Amino acid sequence: MVKLTIDGREFQAEEGKTILDVAQGNNIYIPTLCYHESVAPYGACRLCMVEITNKRGKKKLVTSCLYPVEEGLDVKTDTPRVVSVRRMVMEFLLARCPDSEVLRKLGDKLGVEKVRFSQEEDKNKCILCGLCARACDEVVGASAISLVNRGVDRQMATPFFDASATCIACGSCAFVCPTGAIKCEDIGDTRKLTMPNITQEFRLAKCKACGAYWAPERQVDFFVKKSGLTREEYELCPDCR
């Protein structure tokens, strides 16, 4: 256990926890976009910046989602420096994705009045935080998408920008995406997954009893493979089971 203070309040925390873990566990607000509790932190969005003073009295800005707690750490989540740097980050994100409703709301909340940078034309809402790809890899285990290329060409995409052979159409990527860049909708017997670089359609499996389309065929295949059960075990939707 280590002792640290956040905004003047004292906390005890287990070693290995991050500043963000402690703050969230104690209702201290730190804005985040690329963080999700089920996925390893990555530090891509830079929105969760806080100011720390370490034992030697040195002040610096760190990403709270990655910074592990230390004995005697003094964390401030609300200093003028933190506020201004967050606004700056927010402005960059908004310049990149002016169409994202979520980002605009967050911008308002953080006090961004106007974006001083020229705004991106193509209406893509992806901030390249890679949360979708990390969830797909770490949680689902499908690894269907990733960040590709480098620098200004960086994009979220499937390999070769082609239909993915490993995607099971579970929609986890759309679920975790913090900006609404990925859409997942079911239309009749088809699931449509719309990503910045590709739109894919998948067949849905029909429940034998009630006839409802309940999961993508590929996801059912995936269940079968994972669980070692037979395909017959998955003929019914969860409601009819």
Partner 1 sequence: MNTSEPKLDNEQIKTMINAILDKYRREEGMLVSVLHEIQGEYHYLPRPALEEVSRGLKIPLTRVYSVATFFKVFSLKPRGRHLIQVCLGTACHVRGGARVRDTIERDLAIKSGETTPDFTFSLESVNCVGACALGPIVLVDGQYNGQMTIEKVDSVLKKYA
Residues in contact with partner 1 by the rule CB under 8 A: 133, 137, 143-150, 158-160, 165-166
Q: Which of ligand FES, partner 1, none is residue 44 near (CB under 5 to 8 Å by kind)?
A: ligand FES
Pair 66, 40: CB distance under 8 Å: no
Quick check: 110 binds ligand FES (CB under 6 A)? no
Is residue 219 within 8 A of residue 225, CB to CB? The reply is no
For the chain, the DSSP string reads: -EEEEETTEEEEE-TT-BHHHHHHHTT-----SS--TTS-----S-TTEEEEE-TT--EEEEETTTPBP-TTEEEESS-HHHHHHHHHHHHHHHHH-TT-HHHHHHHHHHT-----SPPPSS--------HHHHIIIIII-----EEES-GGG-EEE-GGGS--SS-----HHHHH-SSS-SEEEEETTEEEEE-SS-EEEEEEEEPTTT--EEEEHHHHHHHHHHH---GGGGSS-TTT-
Given ligand FES, partner 1, none, residue 150, with its beta carbon under 5 to 8 Å by kind, binds partner 1
| 46 binds ligand FES per the rule CB under 6 A | yes
Partner interacting with residue 190 (select from ligand FES, partner 1, none; CB below 5-8 Å by kind)? none
Q: Is 77 in the site for ligand FES (CB under 6 A)?
A: no
Of ligand FES, partner 1, none, which one does residue 65 interact with (CB within 5 to 8 Å by kind)? ligand FES
Minimum separation from the CB atom of position 44 to ligand FES (A): 6
Question: Whose Cβ is closer to partner 1: residue 130's or residue 171's?
Answer: 130
CB of 105 to partner 1, least distance (A): 31
Number of residues that bind ligand FES (CB under 6 A): 12
From candidates 34, 69, 133, 170, binder to ligand FES by CB under 6 A: 34
Contact partner at residue 58 from ligand FES, partner 1, none, CB < 5 to 8 Å by partner kind: none
Q: Contact between 32 and ligand FES (CB under 6 A)? A: yes
Partners of residue 51 on adjacent β-strands: 61, 76
**82 lies in the binding site for ligand FES (CB under 6 A):** no
* Contact set with ligand FES (CB under 6 A): 32-35, 43-48, 63, 65
